[in-house]
């Protein structure tokens, strides 16, 4: 990113997290100037970043304000310069692009000290892989992370159990509500995650399942990633809309969504919905 005067704030992918109008639809709806540039919205300062928001309304709803906080969480990592805006791959030149270069950039550019390397599973969408990767790195906008970045929020307690601070690992694997979901996943497909207390351990455990069968390993890993994706969506639903989804509904969504992705991407790994519901093979 250069000066930001040639890049659309809402319509172009310039943050590394996605197109902002798609990530924050409520904010985009109340934006006065939808074709604004990055320069017109982002006021860069290492010590005290600020944002030149222009909303259609003077007071934001609770859901809109939460989206604003999450958006500012992403923007705090962004800084402008005096250079001209240019699309450049950091692992190559302007003309060089490859999926491998993007993966390398994600895993090492911002976090060169980390040993963890995410195993990218092409049986689920990139956005689902991306969420799993960010979860391991604790880079999701949990309430704890928002507080660390000095974002003012009413409480850091988990909205789903109200018994602990909402960290990334709490909401995805430790919350009592989340534990019920993982227990239902175990009952459905037989995956046992006993002894896995961190995000990295849980994802790596899925890669050791299925013994030496690559398709079974990819299936186990896909189910774990889809579970994380579904839990995070349900968390956002509770945070933004105040609606708590019961675990039995979550497991049904995990089954149906993983079925569609594995069936369409797994090349005859499964044949029909009935077979998938009963889970056709052992992967533990």
Tell me the pLDDT tens digit for each residue of 46-97.
556 689 999 999 888 877 877 787 788 778 778 788 887 766 554 544 445 4
Cβ atoms of 2 and 86 closer than 8 Å = yes
> pLDDT tens, 237-270?
898 888 899 999 999 999 999 999 998 888 777 7
Whether 168 has a pLDDT exceeding 60, the answer reads yes
Please report which helix (H) or strand (E) contains residue 42, including its range.
Answer: strand 42-43
Please report which helix (H) or strand (E) contains residue 247, including its range.
Answer: helix 247-265
- The top-scoring range by mean pLDDT among 165-174, 209-218, 264-273 is 165-174
pLDDT band for position 12 (50/70/90)? Answer: very high
SS (H, E, C) 185-204: HHHHHCCCCCCCCCHHHHHH
- Mean pLDDT in the chain? 83
Q: How confident is the model over 185-212, as a mean pLDDT? A: 87
pLDDT band for position 177 (50/70/90)? Answer: very high
Q: What is the pLDDT of residue 107?
A: 53
Q: Comparing C-alpha atoms, which of 226, 56, 31, 200 is closest to residue 127?
A: 226
Q: Where are the domains of the chain?
A: 1-87, 118-277
Give the Cα separation of 1 and 8 in Å (integer). 11
Cβ atoms of 160 and 177 closer than 8 Å = yes
Cβ atoms of 168 and 138 closer than 8 Å = yes
Whether 16 has a pLDDT exceeding 80, the answer reads no
Q: What is the pLDDT of residue 152?
A: 80
pLDDT band for position 211 (50/70/90)? Answer: low
Torsions phi, psi for 239 (to 5 deg): -70, -45
Structure tokens given for 216:
């079974």
Give the Cα separation of 174 and 235 in Å (integer). 13
Q: Which residues contact 128 (CB under 8 A, 6 or more apart)?
A: 225, 226, 228, 229
Give the Cα separation of 77 and 57 in Å (integer). 27
User: Among 15-29, 91-105, 135-149, which is the least confidently predicted range?
Assistant: 91-105
> pLDDT tens, 91-116?
544 445 455 555 555 555 454 444 55
Q: Which residues contact 252 (CB under 8 A, 6 or more apart)?
A: none
Q: What is the pLDDT of residue 48?
A: 64
Whether 174 has a pLDDT exceeding 90, the answer reads yes
Q: Comparing C-alpha atoms, which of 101, 97, 266, 277 is closest to residue 184?
A: 277
Cβ atoms of 85 and 7 closer than 8 Å = yes
Which residue is listed with tokens 């005096």?
82
Angle at 182 between CA 181 and CA 184, to 5 degrees: 65
CB atoms within 10 A of CB 13: 13
pLDDT band for position 221 (50/70/90)? Answer: very high
Q: What is the pLDDT of residue 188?
A: 93
């Amino acid at each position: 990113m250069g000066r930001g005067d040639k890049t659309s704030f809402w319509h172009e992918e310039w943050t590394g997290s996605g197109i902002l109008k798609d990530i924050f639809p409520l904010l985009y709806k109340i934006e006065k100037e939808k074709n604004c540039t990055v320069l017109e919205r982002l006021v860069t300062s290492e010590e005290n970043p600020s944002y030149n928001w222009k909303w259609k309304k003077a007071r934001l709803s609770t859901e809109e304000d939460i989206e604003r906080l999450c958006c500012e969480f992403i923007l705090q990592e962004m800084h402008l310069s005096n250079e001209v805006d240019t699309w450049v791959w950091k692992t190559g030149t302007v003309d060089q692009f490859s999926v491998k270069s993007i993966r390398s950039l994600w895993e090492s550019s911002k976090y060169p000290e980390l040993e963890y390397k995410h195993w990218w599973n092409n049986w689920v969408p990139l956005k689902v892989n991306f969420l799993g990767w960010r979860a391991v790195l604790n880079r999701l906008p949990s309430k704890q992370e928002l507080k660390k970045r000095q974002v003012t929020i009413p409480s850091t307690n988990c909205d789903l159990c109200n018994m602990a601070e909402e960290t990334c690992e709490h909401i995805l694997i430790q919350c009592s509500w989340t534990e019920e979901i993982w227990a239902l996943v175990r009952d459905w497909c037989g995956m046992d995650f006993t002894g896995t207390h961190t995000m990295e351990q849980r994802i790596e455990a899925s890669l050791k399942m299925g013994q030496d069968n690559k398709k079974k390993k990819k299936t186990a890993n896909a189910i774990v990633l889809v579970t994380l994706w579904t839990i995070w969506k349900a968390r956002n639903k509770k945070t933004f809309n105040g609606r708590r989804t019961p675990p039995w509904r979550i497991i049904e969504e995990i089954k149906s969504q993983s079925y569609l992705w594995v069936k369409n991407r797994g090349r005859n790994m499964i044949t029909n919905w009935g077979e998938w519901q009963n889970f056709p093979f052992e992967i533990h």
